[in-house]
Structures are given as structure tokens and as C-alpha cells.
Amino acid sequence: MVLLLTAVLCLSLLSLLLALLRGRSKHTRPLPPGPRPWPVVGNLLNLFLLQRRLRQPPHAVLAAVARAYGPLVYLRLGARSVVVASSPSAASQVLTARDRELSGRYIPATFRISVYTEYSFPWAAHCDDHWRWLRALCKRDIFSIGRVEGHAGLREGKAREMVELLLRRQGEEINVGELVFRTIFNMLGNMLFSRDVIATAGEERGVKSDGSWNLNKVMSRNLQLGIMPNLEDFYAAVFGGLDLQGLRREARKNLEMIYEVFDGVIRERRVEMEEGTGGEEVDGKEDFLKVLLDAGCEDVQLKALFLDIFTAGTDTSTKLVEWTMSELIKNPHVMAQLREELQRVVGSPDRGTTAVRESHLAHLPYLQACIKETLRLHPPVPMLLPHRAVEACEVMGYEVPSDCTVIVNVWAIGRDPEVWKDPLRFQPERFLEACSVDYKGMDFEFVPFGAGRRICPGLPVAARVAPLVVASMVHGFEWCLPGGMGADRLGMGERLGLVLEREQPLVLVPKSINAMAE
């Protein structure tokens, strides 16, 4: 039996190899340069050996490949064709010039779960009518400028609650990621549902309080699963649908736990609407859940969309705040300059009662520069979600084959010495002094949120949430590492995932500036 299975597998791989060799002769233009692929495994072996040597995550490994072969690289990962863009000019071609041909989405095999990807916005395989309806709905009813500005007081209230918690816990060790995740999750929860989703004690609504799972960890784990090597992605013709590694099973289990939280919120709202009670307004306006229910959306549609919004809005912003605070700890002169700007614009903190407001953000250029510099060095999504060529096209004189996966490595662009001077140095000043580079999708040396039709729709919220949270944390508190550890000992290692995580959680100790003055 084992010999029979081995023979079948070998014949399958041989047929794949012959198909690949036949396919290469059909290209009318040359493919982008890249390392010579090995039989059957393609460039998987090259990348594996390079990763072992560099001991770095995938985005850094692909950046090293780009330094060797150029800004547009072709790779064969098993039976899968992949093109990686690692320069502003290449990103411009992929994200805008060839936006229509490259507008498809490659969905990792791990995430091919019908109750999610069939209704997902960012993981929609095509920019079809359903995708356009979702985009219009989000732009009109949650991410429009009017809606975002109308929720400013709500976000400020959650930031004040965070500050009050820090005042109560000053001198204690704080897991910055967990604190910020809870704060931002409840900001979004109130925008969408008019209520907190995570209780202030840290227990998730609708979930047993036995500590059996944690929403933050489950969502982060799902993002890690999405980028783990999966045989189905490399050899779909042989392993498609088998889930031999169990990655999709784990992702589905995590998805069910997350959906359970949203189930409780949706059920409660339906009861409230039937009874004619409240719970459906934010600042006197209908919240997003009420809008969707009135539009006749089914529960499975609601849960998939909420997962998209909370994942994109919470995980990315949480990691951005965590990396910003890490860089401020590593660079105390930057922290001091930022605090001086905050006290000049906001006023001296008075036992937490002088709060940062969103109206202050436009008058805090150094804060904005710190956020931009963090986005350059530590983009929340180091490689934009993978595009897919819906038809063959030409990019920079090379052919991108139909159905090819196309990745934009924004992490590599942000650290390119040909684009940025002294790129590994945290220097917010580079975004001051008449620097017009911004992250809104027009400057391709700086596209942490993407560009073109697949640009992150939640950018207007992200542009307010992360600066507000960072400003609130820095304005009234001094921060230090536990046990008197020096800033030079703070590790800045990165961990594998769709979202760029710290290798080790950031744990800091806050102390009120007013308490220090006393």
C-alpha cells in the first residue's frame, strides 16, 4: 500500500513538472528574473536554505532575494507561480497601472472556509458585484469622513478609559499589546454595535469566563496560520482539499470561537429591535449593525464582515501602537520630543483630566511623523495581501502569467537604501521639513495600506486611532522596562504572521508624570 501511494505521488509530481515545462514555452515575453527553480519543488528549497541562513521571517527573506535579482522577481513555489514586487516603480505597476489585470485575490488554502471567504471583503477572489457592494457599504456607512468624525467623542472616551486604567495600575507591568487591543476593539465595537465587546475586566462577552481562550490570541493565531507553508498552496492538484497539516481545521475552530462572540451581539440586537428597545445608535445616529440588519443581511454575512473589520482595524492598529512604543523606548530623545509637543499643544497632564482629543492630532506634526516612521520600518502588513493575475499582463517589460500570485513587499520598500537615506534608523524628522510623502496610496515608496482598488478601506479610522492611543499613552506617563532593564536590551525581533508582530510581547511599566513630580 505504501509503495502504491508513493508511486501515485511520484507520477502526480512528474505530471506537474511536465506541465510546468510545457507552460514556460507559451510566454511571449520573458518572465521576471529569479533563482533557477529545482525540479518539482521549484524555488521552495532556495527559500528554505536562505531562511535557515538568515534566520529571518519571509518578508525579510524575499527582500534578500530582491537585492540579488531586482525589484521584480519570479519564483516557482512548487506548482505555484509567484511574482514579488519590491520597489516603488514595481509597486506602482502592480497596484495602479495594472490594477485591473492584477485585481484578483489569491486566497491561502488555510483560509478557504466557506462561511468566511465566500462573504469576505478583503479575501474576495474577484472585484465582482458583491465586492463592490461591500466596498460601497463600508465607505458610506462606516468609513466615510462624516461617520468617522462623528465618532470622535466615542474613541476619545475609550482612550480616557485606558488612561484611567493606567493611572490605577501605575508601577505595575503592563502588556501593551493586550491593553491596546482591548481599547481599540471596544472603539470599533461602539462604532459598529454601540457597545463594548470586551468587558473592562478583560473577559470576552458571550464567552465563558474560565479563561479557556483569549480573543486577542485567537485572532493573532489565525493571522499566523494564514502565512504558514501549506502543501495545498504549493501542489493544489495533488493535495487540494486534503488539509494534511490540519491548518484549515485549526483556522475553522478559531473562526467558530470568534463568530460565537458576534453571534451573541447579533442575537441581542435582533431581540432589541423586535422589542423596540435601544442599543442601536451612536451619537444619535444608526450604528453599522442596524444599517446592515435593515439591509436584510444574513447572520453569516454580518459575522464575516465584522471579522474583516475587527481584524483589519484592531490587529493592525494594535501592532502599530506596540511597534511605535517600542521605538520610543529605544529612542528616548524622540520620546522626550514627542512628550514636549504633546504638553505644548494639549497642555500639562492634570492627573489624567487633561485628555488628548482627536482635534489635537492635526496640530501634532511630530506625533504624525513618529507614526509614519513606524509604518515605514514596521508596516502592519509587511507583504500586502496577495494579488492574483486575472489575466496575463506586462509589468516592467516582463510577463506576469495568468493566475500568478503577485506580492508587494512594502517592508522591503520601506528599508531600501536607494529609496530612504539611512533606512534602518528610526528618524521621524525625515517626514517633517516639507516632506510630502504620505500613506494614502499616491506615494509608492510608502504604501503600508496599499493603493488602487484594493487599498485598505479603513484607512480614515486607522489614521485617527493609532495616533490618539499613542498620544494618550505618552502625554501623561513615563514608561520604562520592567526590573530597571535598559532600553538597549529591548529586543526588536519580528514574528511570522500576516500582521507584523513583535517576537516577544512588549511589557512596560507606566508612571504618572504628576506622581513623579510630587
Residue position matching grid coordinates 537615506: 421
Angstrom distance (rounded) from CA 429 to CA 284: 41
Nearest to 319 by CA among 460, 468, 506: 506
Report the distance separating Cα 473 and Cα 244, nearest Å: 45
Instruction: Give, as one character, the DSSP assignment of residue 52.
Output: H
CB burial class (10 A; 0-12, 13-18, 19+) of residue 330? middle
Q: Is 404 within any annotated ligand binding site?
A: no
Q: Which of 382, 411, 324 is nearest to 499 (CA)?
A: 382
Q: Position of cell 495594472?
A: 98
For residue 268 the three cell numbers come to 441581542
- CA 156, distance to chain mean position in Å, is 23
- Residue 348 in grid coordinates: 500639562
- Determine whether 424 is exposed, middle or buried from the number of CB atoms within 10 Å of its CB (0-12, 13-18, 19+): exposed
* Angle between helices 365-377 and 459-475 in degrees, nearest 10: 110
| Phi, psi for residue 34 in degrees, rounded to 5 | 180, 170
How many angstroms separate the CA atoms of 348 and 87, rounded? 43
| Buried residues in 361-379 as b, exposed as e (16+ CB within 10 A) | beebebbbbbbbbbbbbbb
Distance, in Å, from the CA atom of 369 to the CA atom of 379, rounded to the nearest integer, reads 14
- The H-or-E segment that residue 441 falls in is none
For residues 238-253, one letter each, b for 16 or more C-beta atoms within 10 angstroms of the residue's C-beta and e for the rest, the string is: bbeeebebebbebbbe
123-130 long-range Cβ contacts below 8 angstroms, 24+ apart = 123/308, 123/385, 125/388, 126/390, 127/103, 127/453, 127/454
Q: 3-class DSSP state for residue 354?
A: coil
- If DSSP codes are grouped into helix, strand and coil, which group holds residue 82? strand
Annotated binding site for heme: 456
Annotated binding site: 456
